[in-house]
Structure 1
Amino acid sequence: MKLKLLIIALLFCAGARAQTTPDITPAHLKAAEDLLKVTQADMLFKQNMGTMLKQASTNIPEDKRAKFIEVMNTFVAKYVSWETLRDQMAAAYAKEFTAAELKGLIAFYSTDLGKKLLAKQPALVSKGAEIGQQMVQSHQVELQQMMEAAFKDSK
């Protein structure tokens, strides 16, 4: 089930296309790109993808796990890499934040507190994913029953 969710998430990310809006100026887009640089979004993206793949691999039999991770890493590097998503992410940020807001975020992430948040974020994302996984696992029987009931009713 987790593998299917990961593949769906990867397909969603790969299929996402940035919407160009006429109110996004080159300076606005540049501010979004600068924010992505300051926040080390490329590094965080790669770490988060690694965390997702590692957690998705826990449902793969141990003797196939290394090969699964290898194939997924190859696929991600080819189609869902930071390099393929960077421009779309900058456009997404520019769409959600004004140029002034982006500059404010850049100022924050340039402070000691902002840098500390950036340093702690990978561990926090990993811990959050771990907590979520534990919650699902602790209620897995109920979830399975809910799914069976939902799909039984839809036949």
Structure 2
Amino acid sequence: MKIKLTLVAVLFCLAAKAQTTPNITPAHLKAAEDVLKASHADSLFKENMATMLKQASNNLPEERRAKFIEVMNQFVAKYVSWDILKDQLAVTYAKEFTITELKGLAAFYNTPVGKKFIIKQPLLVKTGADLGQQLVQSHQVELQQMMQDAFKDQ
């Protein structure tokens, strides 16, 4: 079963575990994490993932949709969960904004800092998508085997 294109569409905003970056201090990372919390990024991630999986499953025969979503949820929980994504996103935010700007974003989005956030947001989303695509590609063989195992009796 060829799922490559579906995976790219489904997992566009997933990411790798955080890597250390010499220019980013713990305080800077904490400020970035506060922005993620204030924006409810974890809830949005989960909601968007559920929506994307449902949309992707629409390309499959109806009798395979539930199993596809089940397998994809297992894969996401193992390799691209919010716990994996959040650290890398915090690093990305910390690279793009100062500590002062991050504190401003967490406190109020309608300030000049909030407007900068809106401008930077497409870059942040793209970075997350690129990281997720790399994760899926690095585990693609395992995912394909999971799908084959899940559908072998159907």
Deviation at 1:48, TM superposition (A): 0.8
Larger Rg: 1
RMSD: 2.7
Q: Could you report, residue by residue, the CA deviation over 1:88-140 in whole angstroms, capped at 9, with x for unpaired residues?
A: 111111111111111111111599xx9xxxxxxxxxxxxxxxxxxxxxxxxxx
User: Percent identity, aligned pairs only?
Assistant: 72
Contact 1:39 1:109 in 2 (8 A): no
Q: Could you report, residue by residue, the CA deviation over 1:28-82 in whole angstroms, capped at 9, with x for unpaired residues?
A: 1100011111111111111111111011111011111111111111111111110
Match of 1:23 in 2: 23
Residues paired across the two proteins, number = 110
Q: 1:97 to 1:79 in 2, by over 3 A?
A: same
Aligned mates of 2:33, 2:45 — CA distance in 1: 15
Q: How does 1:73-92 map to 2 (within 5 A)?
A: 73-92=73-92
Letter of the aligned partner of 1:13 in structure 2? L
| TM-score of the aligned structures, taking structure 1 as reference length | 0.61
Q: How does 1:6-155 map to 2 (within 5 A)?
A: 6-8=6-8, 10=11, 13-14=14-15, 16=16, 18-109=18-109
Aligned mates of 1:21, 1:97 — CA distance in 2: 14
Contact 1:38 1:109 in 2 (8 A): no
Q: 1:43 to 1:11 in 2, by over 3 A?
A: closer
Structure having greater relative contact order (Cα 8 Å, sep ≥ 6): 2
| TM-score of the aligned structures, taking structure 2 as reference length | 0.62
Q: 1:52 to 1:17 in 2, by over 3 A?
A: same
SS at match of 1:88: helix
Letter of the aligned partner of 1:100 in structure 2? T
